[in-house]
Amino acid sequence: MNAVQALATVLIARPSVTPEDAGCLDLIGGILQALGFSLERIDSGSVSNPVSNLWARRGNAAPLVCFAGHTDVVPAGPIEQWQSNPFTPTVRDGLLYGRGAADMKSSLAAFVVAVERFIRKNEQHSGSIAFLLTSDEEGDATDGTVKVVETLQARNERIDYCIVGEPTSSEKLGDTIKNGRRGSLSATLTVRGIQGHIAYPEKVRNPIHQAIPALAELAATHWDDGNEYFPATSFQVSNIHAGTGATNVVPGTLEVLFNFRFSTASTVESLQSRVHAILDRHDLEYDIRWTVGANPFLTPHGKLVTAMELAIQEATGISPALSTTGGTSDGRFITAISSEIAEFGPINDSSHKIDEHVRTADLEPLAACYEGVLKRLLI
């Protein structure tokens, strides 16, 4: 068993279902402290919902290269459907199974091993290395990375280059780097009508009938063209609810949930303005509650992306593609203190699924990729 697999196995065995950390940060922190890192716990949350956060740093000089990730995992789901216990790491046919194997305990293990090897070879390296780790990424994400970022902001501490260990590879390790993420804007739309007996249409105002043309226009609207890094902004309705349950009652309200996944070609304000214009044009009586889940961020070709591309090519022989697809990540918070953020990790196919796994043959090359990035940025 190689060093990355050994550490990943220990981490996977800890049932750190969000927001639990299950001692993962203490384990990682102990290794980092022995390497000369100073440790700072920035725990948050409440007594009933405690969140564990670690900021570890070695050195005070610029540039600062930070490895960011999370120790928490999603619930295992029906354990009886797993071929082996999700918190008993098991190797079968060259695959390491366990909850968090892909997302993202293998990346955490590869981070640590890569840094350990880099320091051993380059004890007097330039710049600084840091770890930003949380147990609140898979859950509400309100007391994790965002709290660490706020702490760093308050003392004007910035990250020059941030590597997030999300599982980004598609079919082979190294085929995809996420150099940005789309924004997420959600809304709860309530359309008001007049409730009444369905047999007396002259006495009611059906909010369903009124809303349908507006929803059709929203669904057909072309919001933007995206750009060279982002696909066009998408609008999707996720839920519609109205009615009392009776077949002879026109409802008084209609509730619609919808979401934008948007590129840097649009802004929160521009999307909100256009939605209101469409709803107003259809003369609806409505309320709308907006929630900004994330703003889009982008790291174009620069030192970090180039270093990551070269390191991946050296370790795997693959030339990675740049992508901004997928959901949100904690990179959305780190943008407040870092202008260059890139995400890279193992194959994403089994993340959050029953029998989550990684290829054992990918673990050492993954560490080599991270070490190669350090070599190109700090030597």
Task: Give the active site residues.
Answer: 72, 137
3-state class (DSSP) for residue 144: coil
317, two tokens: 């022989």
Other CB atoms within a 10 A radius of the CB of residue 62 amount to 10
Distance, CA of 191 to chain centre:
32
**Residue 88 near residue 99 (C-beta atoms within 8 A):** no
Place of tokens 């800890």: 14
Q: What share of the chain is helix, strand, coil (3-state, %, to 5)?
A: 30, 25, 40
| Residue 120 burial by Cβ neighbours in a 10 Å radius (0-12, 13-18, 19+) | exposed
Q: How many CA atoms lie within 13 A of 89 on its CB side?
A: 23
158, two tokens: 């910035």
Other CB atoms within a 10 A radius of the CB of residue 46 amount to 8
26 annotated among ligand-binding-site residues:
no
**Residue 27 near residue 92 (C-beta atoms within 8 A):** no
Q: Across the strands, what pairs with 191?
A: 254, 286
Say how far apart CA 350 and CA 357 lie, in whole Å.
6
φ, ψ of residue 92 to 5 degrees: the values are -140, 125
3-state class (DSSP) for residue 171: coil
Q: Nearest to residue 246, comparing CAs of 207, 196, 206, 189?
A: 196
125 annotated among ligand-binding-site residues:
no
Place of tokens 């928490």: 72
In total, the chain counts a number of residues equal to 379
352 annotated among ligand-binding-site residues:
yes
Residue 162 is classified by DSSP as E
Binding residues are 70, 103, 138, 166, 352
Question: Can you say which residues are annotated as belonging to the binding site for Zn(2+)?
Answer: 70, 103, 138, 166, 352
